[in-house]
Amino acid sequence: MNNQHTLRIFDEDLNSLRQEILALSNHVSEQLHLALTALVENDAVLAEQVITSDFIADTLQAKINTHTTRTLARQQAMADDLRAILAASRIAIHLERIGDYAKNTAKRSRHLSQPISAELAEQFQWMGKRIQSMLAQVTESYIHHNAPLANVAWADDAELDRVYVNLFQHLLRTMSQEIRNIADGTQLLFIAKGLERAGDHVTDIAEEVYLMITGLPLQGPRPKVSEHS
């Protein structure tokens, strides 16, 4: 956006929406970080904090939903303004779902019978950091209308999928070796799948942002390394 609307309240509405998306994105990114910290440090108190904080994401998403509906009704937006409002509504849904996966990670971490190995911790933390990094990219892309950056985040999902597939196979091997590993292994499989899905939601956001900025869909099949992902 390089110039302002004649009706200044419209600019204020759109700026508010951007700030609300930024707040929701920062919140779910932090939730993800805390959930994975709770997992690798076997910290039940921190896990509980993540679970009880999930309502903030729900509240922010509902607020954005109301805001976008009111803006559509009041401003009768056109062109890139219309795309920006629709994108905000859809991005908020994806962010809220990422928050749900963070909560789910925290919930499952409480059911583990023992701390996870350093090797697993490293892989889970890598996935979490990759999602946070992708989320930061798509959020910056959204705020600053940077379409190439959305494209970068979109392509980064392939690496996340690769690590997920490795983790999945590692957990399967662990469970097949010892029957007592199955309970914890199953919880960790769900956590890993949740993180992989969170990455997919960031990819969805990247597509929304690209469409919002350019008016065109991102071309080509999504980057995937395996049918397992």
- Interface residues with another protein (CB under 8 A)? 3-7, 10, 76-83, 215-216
User: How many other C-beta atoms lie within 10 A of the C-beta of residue 52?
Assistant: 11
Nearest to 22 by CA among 139, 182, 180: 139
In whole angstroms, the minimum distance from the beta carbon of 3 to another protein comes to: 5
Cβ distance to another protein smaller for residue 101 or 210: 210
Q: Which residues contact 64 (CB under 8 A, 6 or more apart)?
A: 17, 20, 21, 24, 88, 89, 92
Cβ distance to another protein smaller for residue 77 or 120: 77
3-state secondary structure 170-181: HHHHHHHHCHHH
In whole angstroms, the minimum distance from the beta carbon of 62 to another protein comes to: 27
In whole angstroms, the minimum distance from the beta carbon of 149 to another protein comes to: 21
User: How many other C-beta atoms lie within 10 A of the C-beta of residue 10?
Assistant: 17
Cβ distance to another protein smaller for residue 179 or 216: 216
In whole angstroms, the minimum distance from the beta carbon of 209 to another protein comes to: 15
Cβ distance to another protein smaller for residue 1 or 183: 1
